[in-house]
């Protein structure tokens, strides 16, 4: 069951179609509705290791559909504290619920100031319209 | 839509996986009008084709079709194709889109007096309707695989070929190009699911049909590719001496099927530890795991041999399986 197109206002967005839900010094990361729709049904999630450090704007893992592989770009730097095992086991969860059950990792932020550089939902929607 | 051999082709309609499942469990239709059609006609057309194609044309009567190879002097595969005997003096070859011009030139250069090769690709469209319910949904009677007949689908005259590239029962309908759009609409109205290039690739790989340009080509010989069953080594044709020699000595490498033992999707070009690389790889919707094929040293090309594939720098375990990877009746051969 595919999700309906949406870009929740409470999230922050990276132009590479990744989102972050910031909660104090932690954040949950995932890919946007647009990203999952472009890729098609996901069949593989290659997660980072728990405890590894990931750096803003760099790849921290991969998602694959039948036809394509896509790097996951982290919107924020930090240490991975949890990987969503449900998505490892059933990658299509991302297609069904990209902002809820389909989250990918949780991180502990190393620089809370980085969030300033991210897009709000309106700006991200504009970016999609211009593309 | 993506460009493919000069055509704009749909990769998917609803999605690769639902289209794949539709073909395995119900029926799907692919527009494969990009395929090339060559006609060979004349009193010596049979003799000519018998000398350039690997399979034995003498086994065909009118109304029969046969999977065969166009081979080069070293036993390499110029193309793989299906030959249809329209009459004792007239044959149709349905060839890969990317090889249409190359095949035509190859045949023209070798043509003998009394046989004439023509490229008729632009006159025809081809719709493949595949799946266990395909004949029933089209209202067609069953016929043996690799036969063809003239017939009608909803008032449209068509050549009905009992052939395909999915491992399922089905037909390929060849019609004049002008009738293609209407035939497509009629087929869809009969509740057949539209399917794209993406599902065509996953379906053929599950049943280990080689893709020319990936798994086979002019540099790969028919024996190593596992296609000796379509090489009549007791007749004379281009490259037969070399193929006999390889068959006699045993090939150094074999095109081998494997399934991933870990979560990972093999892709074309990934190195296989100990030699060889993935020639085709994908996610199998029926097995829900990565599958692929590649050339392995003959001693490792045995069922249950353990492989390691370099998936973008990460070693991932795979296991050799017997072909086909997926088999409907017996269930998947690649289970745990």
Q: Dump the DSSP string for B243-297.
A: HHHHHHH--SEEEEEEEESSS----TT-BBTTS-BEEEEEEETTTTEEEEEEEEE
Pair of tokens at residue B101: 């011009």
Q: What are the phi and psi torsion angles at B188 (to 5°)?
A: -65, -40
Local structure of residue B332 (DSSP, 8 states): -
- B38 backbone φψ class: left, alpha, beta (φ>0; ψ -120 to 50): beta
Q: Which of A40, A41, A64 sits opposite B265 (nearest CB)?
A: A64
Q: Which residues are CB-neighbours of B144 under 8 A, at least 6 positions away?
A: B162
Contact present, B291 and B259 (Cβ < 8 Å): yes
Q: How many CA atoms lie within 13 A of B125 on its CB side?
A: 17
Place of tokens 């009969």: B190
CB–CB contact B312 A62 (8 Å) = yes
CB–CB contact B285 A44 (8 Å) = no
Query: Does residue B232 surpass a pLDDT of 80?
Result: yes
Tell me, yes or no, if A82 comes closer than 8 A to chain B by beta carbon.
Answer: no
Provide CATH code, domain B252-336.
2.40.30.110
Contact present, B62 and B69 (Cβ < 8 Å): no
Tell me, yes or no, if B285 comes closer than 8 A to chain A by beta carbon.
Answer: yes
Query: Does residue B92 surpass a pLDDT of 80?
Result: yes
Structurally, at CATH architecture level, domain A12-111 sits in Beta Barrel (2.40)
pLDDT for res B329: 65
pLDDT band at A3 (very low <50, low <70, confident <90, very high): confident
Q: Is B137 helix (H, G, I), strand (E, B) or coil?
A: helix
Bridge partners, residue B318, by sequence: B260, B307
Show the DSSP H helices in B111-261 as ranges. 134-138, 180-189, 197-206, 240-249
Provide the shortest C-alpha distance from residue A71 to chain B (in Å).
12
Cα–Cα dist B117/B41, whole Å? 7
pLDDT band at B334 (very low <50, low <70, confident <90, very high): very low
Percentage of chain A modeled with pLDDT above 90: 95
pLDDT band at B332 (very low <50, low <70, confident <90, very high): very low
Query: Does residue B330 surpass a pLDDT of 60?
Result: no
Rounded average pLDDT over B225-239: 98
Mutate to test the interface with B, among A1, A2, A66 (most CBs of B within 10 A): A66
B contact residues 159-218, partner A, Cβ 8 Å cutoff: 198, 202
pLDDT one-digit tens code per residue, A33-92: 999 999 999 999 999 999 999 999 999 999 999 988 999 999 999 999 999 999 999 999
Cα–Cα dist B129/B175, whole Å? 13
Cα–Cα–Cα angle for B186, B188, B191, nearest 5°? Answer: 115
Provide the shortest C-alpha distance from residue A96 to chain B (in Å).
14
Question: Which residues in chain B are contacts of A66 at CB distance < 8 A?
Answer: 16-17, 198, 202, 282-283, 285
pLDDT one-digit tens code per residue, B294-305: 999 999 999 999
Question: Which residues in chain B are contacts of A44 at CB distance < 8 A?
Answer: 263-265, 283, 290
Least confidently predicted of B11-15, B30-34, B172-176, B285-289: B11-15
Q: Which of B280, B273, B284, B332 has its CA nearest to residue B306?
A: B273
Mutate to test the interface with A, among B21, B260, B263, B312 (most CBs of A within 10 A): B263
Provide the shortest C-alpha distance from residue B198 to chain A (in Å).
7
Tell me, yes or no, if B284 comes closer than 8 A to chain A by beta carbon.
Answer: no
Q: Which residues are CB-neighbours of A63 under 8 A, at least 6 positions away?
A: A31, A39, A42, A44, A45, A46, A69, A70, A72, A91, A94, A104
pLDDT for res B2: 74
Contact present, B149 and B142 (Cβ < 8 Å): no
Tell me, yes or no, if A3 comes closer than 8 A to chain B by beta carbon.
Answer: no
Rounded average pLDDT over B45-72: 98
Chain A residue closest in CA terms to B284: A66
Question: Which residues in chain A are contacts of B285 at CB distance < 8 A?
Answer: 66
Cα–Cα–Cα angle for A17, A20, A21, nearest 5°? Answer: 145
Q: Which of B213, B220, B214, B275 has its CA nearest to residue B242?
A: B220
Cα–Cα dist B93/B38, whole Å? 5
Q: Is the ipTM of this complex over 0.95?
A: no
CB–CB contact A40 B12 (8 Å) = yes
Question: Which residues in chain B are contacts of A43 at CB distance < 8 A?
Answer: 17, 265, 283, 288
In this structure, chain B runs to a length of: 336
Tell me, yes or no, if A68 comes closer than 8 A to chain B by beta carbon.
Answer: no
Query: Does residue B333 surpass a pLDDT of 50?
Result: no
Percentage of chain B modeled with pLDDT above 70: 98
Domains of chain A: which residue ranges? 12-111
pLDDT one-digit tens code per residue, A58-74: 999 999 999 889 999 99
CB–CB contact B16 A40 (8 Å) = yes
Give the count of beta carbons closer than 10 Å to the beta carbon of residue A103.
22
Q: How many CA atoms lie within 13 A of A27 on its CB side?
A: 26
Question: E strand or H helix at B103, and its extent?
Answer: helix B100-110
Provide the shortest C-alpha distance from residue A102 to chain B (in Å).
18
Chain A residue closest in CA terms to B287: A43
Chain A residue closest in CA terms to B14: A40
Query: Does residue A14 surpass a pLDDT of 90?
Result: yes
Cα–Cα dist A121/A75, whole Å? 14
Place of tokens 């007791």: B234
CB–CB contact B15 A44 (8 Å) = no
Rounded average pLDDT over B116-131: 98
Cα–Cα dist B160/B147, whole Å? 9
Domains of chain B: which residue ranges? 2-35+123-205, 252-336
Class of domain B2-35+123-205: alpha beta
How far is CA B71 from each of CA B76, B153, B213, B294, rounded to the nearest angstrom?
5, 36, 14, 20
């Amino acid at each position: 069951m595919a999700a309906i197109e949406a870009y929740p206002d409470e999230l922050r967005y990276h132009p590479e179609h990744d989102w972050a839900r910031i909660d104090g010094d932690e954040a949950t990361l995932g890919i946007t509705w647009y990203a999952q729709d472009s890729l098609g049904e996901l069949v593989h999630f290659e997660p980072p290791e728990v405890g590894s450090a990931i750096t803003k704007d760099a790849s921290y893992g991969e998602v694959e559909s039948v036809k394509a592989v896509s790097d996951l770009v982290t919107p924020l730097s930090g240490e991975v504290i949890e990987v969503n095992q449900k998505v490892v086991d059933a990658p299509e969860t991302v297609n069904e619920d990209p902002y809820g059950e389909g989250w990918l990792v949780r991180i502990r932020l190393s620089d809370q100031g980085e969030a300033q550089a991210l897009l709000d939902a309106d700006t991200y929607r504009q970016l999609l319209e211009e593309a | 839509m993506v460009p493919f051999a000069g055509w704009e082709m749909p990769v998917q309609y609803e999605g690769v996986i639902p289209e794949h499942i539709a073909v395995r469990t119900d029926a799907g239709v692919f527009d494969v009008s990009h395929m090339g059609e060559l006609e060979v006609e004349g009193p010596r057309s049979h003799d000519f084709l018998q000398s350039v194609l690997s399979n034995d044309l003498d086994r065909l009567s009118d109304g029969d079709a046969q999977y065969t190879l166009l081979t080069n002097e070293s036993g390499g595969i110029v193309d793989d194709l299906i030959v249809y005997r329209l009459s004792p003096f007239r044959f149709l070859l349905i060839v890969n889109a990317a090889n249409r011009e190359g095949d035509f030139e190859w045949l023209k250069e070798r043509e003998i007096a009394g046989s004439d090769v023509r490229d008729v690709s632009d006159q025809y469209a081809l719709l493949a309707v595949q799946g266990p319910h395909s004949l029933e949904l089209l209202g067609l009677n069953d016929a043996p695989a690799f036969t063809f007949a003239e017939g009608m689908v909803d008032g449209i005259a068509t050549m009905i070929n009992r052939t395909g590239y999915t491992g399922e029962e089905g037909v390929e309908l060849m019609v004049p190009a002008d009738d293609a759009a209407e035939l497509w609409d009629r087929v869809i109205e009969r509740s057949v699911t539209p399917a794209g290039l993406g599902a065509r690739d996953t379906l053929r790989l599950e049943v280990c049909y080689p893709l020319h340009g990936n798994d086979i080509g002019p540099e790969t010989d028919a024996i190593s590719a596992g296609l000796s069953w379509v090489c009549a080594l007791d007749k004379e044709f281009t490259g037969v001496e070399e193929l006999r020699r390889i068959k006699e000595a045993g090939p150094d490498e074999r095109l081998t099927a494997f399934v991933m033992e870990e979560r990972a999707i093999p892709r074309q070009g990934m190195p296989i530890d100990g030699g060889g690389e993935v020639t085709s790889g994908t996610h199998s919707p029926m097995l829900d795991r990565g599958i692929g094929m590649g050339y392995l040293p003959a001693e490792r090309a045995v069922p249950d041999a353990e492989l390691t594939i370099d998936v973008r720098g990460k070693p991932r375990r795979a296991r050799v399986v017997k072909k086909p990877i997926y088999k409907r009746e017996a269930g998947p051969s690649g289970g745990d």
